[in-house]
Amino acid sequence: MNIGTASEKSGLPPKTIRYYEDIGLMKAGRAGNGYRDYSTEDVHRLRFLQRSRGLGFSVEECRQLLSLYDDKQRESAEVKAIAEAKLKEIDRKLAELVGLRDTLRHLVRHCHGDERPECPIMDGLAGEQATG
């Protein structure tokens, strides 16, 4: 399939897909006419990249995540270590996202824009501690 179709199916712009190829993150095959050719599996990977990039993982981290699929021959221990580190990171991100949602929900419910001098949220905002 051509890059346009892969773009639609993955949610990544063609420009970005080409860029990922440039930096060696995601290489596609080529058809006889020189066009890039994407398989269903390629689209899965692009989707995966689209997701993880959108969730704040760097390109290097995404490279590691992708390597979990691509380097099946590698040491089981190494692959598992990377995967488990990433799982921890994801759990941390999940907790942060839940915290952000709670903050915002609280805001919507209690600070309804009726010109109070101070919003009760400001005090407890993100007060979970930073360096902990």
Name the site residues for a second copy (rule: CB under 8 A). Answer: 8-11, 41, 43-45, 47-48, 50-56, 65, 68-69, 72-80, 83-84, 86-87, 90-91, 93-94, 96-101, 103-105, 107-108, 111-116, 119, 121-122, 125-127, 130-131
Residue 65 touches which member of a second copy, DNA, none, C-beta under 5-8 Å by kind: a second copy
Residue 39 touches which member of a second copy, DNA, none, C-beta under 5-8 Å by kind: none
What are the structure tokens assigned to 123, written together? 């005090």
The H-assigned helical ranges of the chain are 3-10, 14-22, 40-54, 59-70, 76-110, 121-124
CB 18 within 8 A of CB 38: no
